[in-house]
Structures are given as C-alpha cells and as structure tokens.
C-alpha cells in the first residue's frame, strides 16, 4: 500500500475573512426570537443575495447572523461566484465548545425581517398565496469532487444535516426543508448536478406577515480520530443565490443570468504575490483562466472586458474581448469556451521602478449583450495584485490543513525563485487551529539551497519555535535572528518537526504549487502530489524595517556599481549624508564623501540611506558580493 508522505488534514480552517465584528446577534427564548440593542432592517420583495460582490460577514441589511462567512474559497463550480458557508467553527476559528463525535448545533444563517404582508414600492400591494411566491436557493455539500488530494473542504458526514426553517408570529420556527450529509460526488451521481436547486412555495397564511424570517442551520459531527491534531473545522455546506419573489412558477428552474463563477486570478504565472524587486516580465502569465456561466435556458450574447488600475485608480491597461455567444450551462454543463472570454491574453508588463511597493487592481466585467439579467453584482470580479516584499503561492485562505508524518525531524519544504540576490529576514506562517490546540507543537524553520529542484545544502536553521495561531487565516511572522543572504536562483523554506507530532499548517486548495512542495521523513525528499499551496510566505530585505518603508523618495542621484565587492561611487548628490545600515537598522558607515569603501562588510544586503541638507531622505538597497 502506498504510503503518503504528505498528509492532508481535512480540518479546513475557514474562509478569508474572520467571522467576527457583527453586533446584530439574535437571542432566543424557546421557539421565539428576541432582539437586544439591534437595528432591524425590513426587506421587501424581491429578496435576493448570491453573495457575489462581497466577502466576510453577510450583508447586515439582509442578514442578522454573526457566525457564517461569505467567501469565494470553498465553492466548487457554484451557480455564480461567491457562496455563504456553514461549518463547525466559531467566530475565532475554533471548534464550537459543544463539538463532539456526536451531532451538535453549529452555524446559523438568519435573515432580517422580510415583508410578506405587502409590497410598498413601486405601488402598495397586499400579498397572499395567490401571488405565487417562491423561495429558491442552491445548496452544495462542500468537499469538491474527485480524489482526496484534489478536493476543497470537508464533506458533511451521514450524521450531519442542513435545515431550513421559516418564522411566524403564530408558531415561531418551523422546519420547512432539510438535507442529510452527503458527498458532492454522490450528489452528482444521484442528481446530475453539483448544486442542488431547491424551490419552495410559500402558501401558508401565517407567513404573510411584515416580519417573516427564515434561517439555515447545520448539524455537524467530528470524525472519531485519535490524532487530535487532525481534527478541526469540518462539515461545510455552501449556499448560493437565495431568491424570494412573487409571480414565479414551479417550472422556473433557470435564471436569466450571465455571471462569473470563480474569483479573479493573479496575472502572475507562478505567484499570487511577489517582491517588487524580484519582478520581471517573465513572471507574467501568457493568458488568464476566466469561468463564465449562462444560467438561462437559452443561448445569450455577452461582452467581456478587463482593465488594470494603479493605486490611485487610474486605468493603465485595458482588454476588450468583444461579443461572444454563450450556451446554457444546463444543456451540457459547460461554461463560456470562446477564447477571447475564457482565456484572455495578457499582453502587459507592470511598471515597477526604484523597487517601490505597488498595488494594482485588475477588474473583470461581463455584461449581457442584449437584454438584462437579474443581478448585476455577479458581473464584476477583482484581483488585487501586490508587489511588496514577500512571495505568496496561496490566496490567504486555508480550506484544508497539511502536515508531515509524525516522525521526529520530518520536514515540509516549499521552493521559491529569486531573480536577483536578496536577504531573507522573516517567514510568515498560518497554522490551523486543531481540536484542543493539539497541533501547536515545537518546530524549526530551515532554509536550503536548491539542487536539481530539491532541497540541497542547509543554509540556516532557527532555534526551537512554537506555533502561534492568531485568528482565521491570519499569518504570524517569525523573524529570523540572523538574516540569510541568498544568491539568485531557487531556495527552499522548510518546517521541521522537533518531536513525533504533527504540524497542522494552512493549506490553500484554490491555488496549486504542488510542483514546488517537497517532504522528507527519512533520507530522501519527495515531491508532493497533493493539489494546493502551503501557507508559508518568505519576507525579504530592507523594506521590512520599521520606519524606512514610508520615508520620502524624492532625491535624484545615482550610485554605482551595485552589486559591488568594494567601493560605491555617487553622482548627482552634493552636501548629503550617506549612511550604510545593516538590515537591523544599525549604522555601519556615515560620510559626506562621494565614495564609500564597503569591502570590509560581509556578503549580503545593506541599506543606503541618503539625507540632503533640506532634510529629504531616500533609502535604496546595496548588494555586497564576495
């Protein structure tokens, strides 16, 4: 039997924004609702939310829940981009206190009141069951499809369920619909769909009131696993496109919608983010992968575009994919396949000068060519492209956890590539919270050179470290006591266990850097076959120093050569103080001369800080060679 060196923990530490901060918290007394210090917002028909144009907490104009999160991370081929996910963790990313291997109450998605007694605008109209009001939504058991090393999230088990309840003043909460735990592949095998479409008529008089509400609740259960470091968040359900309106029919199983399905991608070929000084044109992707769906029963025409904006909102690049027809998804479960929309070219190069940190926003839009669909919110997606001082393969969301065999000295390593020599100063890591914090065990950070695409020479090893888990998907920085100078080329950051314990590290399933991920439990390294990205981010160079990254940079001068093994010469700057600092900010040289000899310094990265007589300061990087 094949022995997996990399173990995926199906603990799925949730979505990209922390489940906190919302003050609209309902309290209950028996089967009735009470609200304390809560601003209640009354909605009227149509009520619709497809969770496509925001992330984090649900829109408080529509929802009163504080324990679910809107995201585009757990979804698998959703009707439209973005879902709301019910799972087994609280607002801090911890398993609920009542969590056990038997069934327990977990998350709740609770609506604001909805006026089902009447419509106020555009004209007042009393509502009743004769108005043919239907409540519809899409539901998906999380976990994705395919092999365990390819799936996203954790499927609900057979002991779990999702429940829909309606509220009336007469009877309180009443169960209207429920679904037992099932895998996504089983759902597809049974119903030939990845999202179950549910349509429920509202016909009972007691619900035609001004403060009708509904809620979804999930019942979860933990796996019975003796390794508590394995046990974490689980049993996700994804809900999408909740829609309540009048004048509907039971036969209305399609929606006139053209929409994006997946979140916007990075424009970089390899990374989600990379240091500004490491960027080259070769880092750009040749094309983008864009998934667009037609939820209607007939072909529609659409217009696709994307544009790039700089930090102050100026449009600096545009792409126009023109008009294309798109077939209905329900016909053969396909998305837009016209290349100008589905795989648009990237004929662009980001302008990064003087190694300044920059952020760009890439906005994608899709519009129906003729007519208008129901929602415009799902017609736009955005990606924020950051060039700062770190590498990131992940999208900042851990849908799973990953670790190594519980063998003392076992390692998990990730490869990165430097286009120019630089100094590694810190490593950011996201550790998942497992049951009873069982995974927070000692470890080491190791830095390796690369040989034949595998870790080779050990360049640096920290003292014993202890994992820290701050909150959901929030990285914790581990600063290196001694900065590590790295030559141009590949290097590895590895986490090594100290004892026979698992390190449960965040694992992003929506990006895939398995070809750059290796593990070792004995003598040799083996490449990972598990789809995803380990949430480890190496940080570099002088810009990580507090107080230097925000200084003004308005001096016009040159210095050369750089890199250098001995002297530096200055041009275009007179009567200015030149300081050479190490990466901790300690001053090594200070002079007003236009020549500085740094031959006595060790190989590595240093900071040049220049201040003229007007007090204007600029900092630049110096690379000292042997």
Q: What is the pLDDT of residues 249-295, one digit of tens each?
A: 998 888 899 999 999 999 999 999 999 999 999 999 999 999 999 99
Give yes or no: residues 73 and 175 share one domain: yes
358: domain CATH number is: 2.60.40
Nearest-angstrom CA–CA distance, 588 and 331: 70
With contact defined as beta carbons under 8 Å apart, do 561 and 603 qualify?
A: no
Residue 260 domain-assigned (yes or no)? no
Among left, alpha and beta (phi > 0; psi -120 to 50; other), residue 79 is: alpha
Compare 135 and 158 and report the one with higher pLDDT: 135
Rounded CA-CA distance 153/86 in Å is 12
Report the SS3 class of residue 173: strand
Q: Which residue has the higher pLDDT, 385 or 615?
A: 385
Q: What is the pLDDT of residues 383-427, one digit of tens each?
A: 999 999 999 999 999 888 887 666 778 899 999 999 999 889 999
Domain co-membership, 96 together with 233 = yes
Same domain, 60 and 164: yes
Of 32-36, 336-340, 393-397, 592-596, minimum mean pLDDT range: 32-36
Q: Quick one: pLDDT at residue 17?
A: 29
Q: What are phi and psi of 329, to 5 degrees?
A: -65, -40
Domain that holds residue 612: 551-624
Q: What is the pLDDT of residue 617?
A: 78
Give whichever of 153-157, 513-517, 599-603 has the largest mean pLDDT.
513-517
**Residue 555 belongs to some domain of the structure:** yes
Give the pairing type, strands 380-388 and 489-497: unpaired
In terms of domains, do 322 and 203 share one?
no
In a domain? residue 265: no
Q: Quickly tell me which residue has 């609280």 as its tokens.
A: 90
Do 110 and 151 belong to one domain?
Answer: yes
What's the confidence (pLDDT) of residue 400?
A: 84
In a domain, 75, yes or no: yes
Indicate the residue among 339, 359, 388 that finishes a domain.
388
pTM: 0.82
Average pLDDT, the chain: 85
Those residues with Cβ within 8 angstroms of residue 251's Cβ, 6 or more apart along the chain or in another chain:
none
* 324 lies in the same domain as 182: no
Decide if pLDDT at 19 tops 80. no
Classify residue 268: in a domain, yes or no: no
CATH number at residue 190: 2.60.120.260
DSSP 100-149: -SS-EEEEEEEBPPEE-SEE-SSS-EE--GGG--EEEEEEEESS-SSSTT
- 429 and 455 share a domain? yes
The string of pLDDT tens digits covering residues 110-127 is 999 999 999 988 788 999
494 and 421: one domain?
A: yes
Q: Is the pLDDT assigned to residue 521 strictly greater than 60?
A: yes
pLDDT tens by residue, 258-269: 999 999 999 999
Q: Is residue 472 part of a domain?
A: yes
Mean pLDDT of 585-591: 83
In the predicted structure, residue 541 carries a pLDDT above the cut 80: no
Per-residue confidence at 624, pLDDT binned at 50, 70, 90? confident
Q: Between these two residues, 472 and 425, which has the higher pLDDT value?
A: 425
Q: Is residue 594 a part of any domain in this protein?
A: yes
In this structure, the answer to whether residues 580 and 489 fall within a common structural domain is no
């Amino acid at each position: 039997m094949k022995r997996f060196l990399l173990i995926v923990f199906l603990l799925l530490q949730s979505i990209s924004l922390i489940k906190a901060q919302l003050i609209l918290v309902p309290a209950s007394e028996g089967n009735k609702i009470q609200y304390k210090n809560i601003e209640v917002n009354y909605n009227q028909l149509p009520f619709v939310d497809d969770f496509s144009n925001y992330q984090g907490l649900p829109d408080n104009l529509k929802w009163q829940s504080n324990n679910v999160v809107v995201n585009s991370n757990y979804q698998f081929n959703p009707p439209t981009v973005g879902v709301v996910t019910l799972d087994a963790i609280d607002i801090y990313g911890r398993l609920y206190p009542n969590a056990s291997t038997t069934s327990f109450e977990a998350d709740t998605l609770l609506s604001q009141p909805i006026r089902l007694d009447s419509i106020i605008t555009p004209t007042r109209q009393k509502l009743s069951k004769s108005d043919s009001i239907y409540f519809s939504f899409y539901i998906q058991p999380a976990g994705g499809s395919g092999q365990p090393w390819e799936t996203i999230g954790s499927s609900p088990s057979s002991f779990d369920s999702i429940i829909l309840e309606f509220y009336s003043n007469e009877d309180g909460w009443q169960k209207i619909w429920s679904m037992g735990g099932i895998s996504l592949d089983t759902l597809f095998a049974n119903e030939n769909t990845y999202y179950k479409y549910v349509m429920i008529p509202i016909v009972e008089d007691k619900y035609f009131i001004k403060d009708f509400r509904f809620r979804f609740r999930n019942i979860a259960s933990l796996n019975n696993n003796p390794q508590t470091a394995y046990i974490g968040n689980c049993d996700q359900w994804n809900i999408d496109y909740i829609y309540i309106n009048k004048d509907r029919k039971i036969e209305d199983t399609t929606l006139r919608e053209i929409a994006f399905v997946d979140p916007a991608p990075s424009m970089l070929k390899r990374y989600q983010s990379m240091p500004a000084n490491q960027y080259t044109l070769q880092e750009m992707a040749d094309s983008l992968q864009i998934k667009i769906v037609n939820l209607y029963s007939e072909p529609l025409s659409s217009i696709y575009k994307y544009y790039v904006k700089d930090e102050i909102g100026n449009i600096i690049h545009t792409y126009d994919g023109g008009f294309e027809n798109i077939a209905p998804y329900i016909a053969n479960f396909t998305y837009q396949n016209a290349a100008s929309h589905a795989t648009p070219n990237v004929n662009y190069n980001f302008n990064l000068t003087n190694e300044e940190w920059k952020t760009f926003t890439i906005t994608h839009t899709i519009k129906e060519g003729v007519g208008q669909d129901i929602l415009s919110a799902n017609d736009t997606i955005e990606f924020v492209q950051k060039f700062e001082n770190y590498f990131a393969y992940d999208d900042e969301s851990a849908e799973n956890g990953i670790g190594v065999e519980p063998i003392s000295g076992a390692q998990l390593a990730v490869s990165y590539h430097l286009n120019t020599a630089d100094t590694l100063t810190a490593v950011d890591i996201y550790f998942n919270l497992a049951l009873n914090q069982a995974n927070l065990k000692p470890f080491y950070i190791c830095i390796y050179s690369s040989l034949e695409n595998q870790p080779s020479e050990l360049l640096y090893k920290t003292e014993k470290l202890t994992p820290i888990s701050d909150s959901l998907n929030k990285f914790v920085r581990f600063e290196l006591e001694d900065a590590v100078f790295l030559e141009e080329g590949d290097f590895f950051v590895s986490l090594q266990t100290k004892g026979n314990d698992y390190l449960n590290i965040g694992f992003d399933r929506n990006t895939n850097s398995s070809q750059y991920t290796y593990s070792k439990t004995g003598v040799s390294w083996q490449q990972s076959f598990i789809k995803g990205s380990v949430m480890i981010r190496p940080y570099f160079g002088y810009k990580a120093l507090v107080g230097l990254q925000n200084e003004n940079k308005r001096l016009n001068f040159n210095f050369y050569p750089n890199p250098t093994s001995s002297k530096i010469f200055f041009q275009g700057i007179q009567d200015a103080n030149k300081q050479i600092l190490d990466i901790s900010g300690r001053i090594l040289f200070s002079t007003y001369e236009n020549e500085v000899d740094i031959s006595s310094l060790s190989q590595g990265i240093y900071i040049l800080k220049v201040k003229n007589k007007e007090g204007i300061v600029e900092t630049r990087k110096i690379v000292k060679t042997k």
